[in-house]
């Protein structure tokens, strides 16, 4: 059984995966445990709930790995957990994962965004910082932004609370040089926006589709510890 936990990163995921891949919404506490108990052998983690509910627990991922399941992560909560659990066999995919794994990114909020519910197709209401970084870096590389504009826009985005971060707000709050046109910059950012979370998520879907739907050899270099706290959630 193959499944992927995904929401705002790829709201159209159900149309992008083969029929043998089940799409579930963003993961929360106990969801990966439930997936393993349902018979999942290949699990993809892209989006996860947080803030108002308990997030997916690392221990669940270790349990899945100890049962021989392949567990992949990318883009958002999946990139965070993959960077934290890579030593135990979780497979990270994409640029965002690589930046967390290398220590270039450290803050969980860099992938956070506010969005609508499933009924509204997870419509995005803010811009995650990792997407802003990708957009600014690309525009700078193409010399659409000068150094001062790049630096001021990046600083503006970094200082902003994740729920308030939009391209309009980033430009409005930036300490731009006098020669810069805020209207031009807002249009430039909007029309050239790079959705790095989506790009990484698509790579994860490809990996899930290509994976064999069967358990792999259980890791031999560590042993899952069934603690009292773990047994309480079973």
What are 95's two structure tokens? 């640029």
Distance CA 180, CA 183 (A): 9
**What pLDDT does residue 232 have?**
80
Angle of CA points 111, 114, 118, to nearest 5°: 110
**What pLDDT does residue 5 have?**
98
DSSP 217: P
Q: Which residues pair with 91 in a beta bridge?
A: 72
pLDDT at 225 over 80: yes
Q: Which residues contact 35 (CB under 8 A, 6 or more apart)?
A: 3, 24, 43, 64
DSSP string, 64-122: HHHTT-EEEEETTHHHHHHHHHGGGT-EEESHHHHHHHHTS---GGGG---B--GGGTT
**What pLDDT does residue 226 have?**
87
Mean pLDDT across 15-31: 96
pLDDT at 69 over 80: yes
**What pLDDT does residue 117 have?**
87
Q: Helices then strands (H, E): number in the chain?
A: 10, 5
**What pLDDT does residue 100 have?**
98
Chain center to CA of 170? 21
């Amino acid at each position: 059984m193959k499944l992927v936990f995904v929401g705002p990163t790829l709201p159209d995921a159900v149309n992008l995966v083969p029929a043998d891949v089940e799409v579930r919404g963003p993961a929360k506490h106990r969801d990966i445990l439930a997936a393993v108990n349902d018979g999942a052998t290949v699990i993809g983690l892209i989006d996860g709930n947080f803030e108002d509910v308990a997030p997916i627990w690392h221990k669940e991922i270790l349990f899945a790995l100890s049962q021989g399941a392949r567990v992949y992560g990318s883009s958002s909560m999946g990139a965070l957990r993959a960077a934290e659990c890579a030593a135990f066999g979780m497979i990270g995919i994409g640029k965002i994962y690589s930046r967390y794994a290398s220590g270039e990114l450290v803050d969980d909020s860099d992938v956070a965004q506010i969005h609508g519910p499933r009924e509204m197709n997870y419509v995005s209401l803010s811009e995650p910082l990792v997407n802003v970084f990708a957009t600014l870096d690309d525009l700078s590389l193409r010399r659409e932004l000068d150094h001062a504009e790049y630096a001021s826009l990046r600083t503006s985005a970094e200082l902003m609370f994740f729920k308030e971060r939009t391209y309009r707000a980033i430009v409005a709050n930036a300490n731009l040089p006098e020669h810069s046109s805020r209207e031009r910059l807002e249009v430039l950012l909007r029309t050239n926006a790079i959705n790095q979370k989506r790009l990484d998520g698509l790579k994860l879907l490809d990996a899930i589709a290509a994976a064999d739907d069967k358990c792999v050899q259980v890791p031999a270099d560590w042993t899952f510890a069934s603690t009292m706290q773990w047994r309480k959630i079973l």
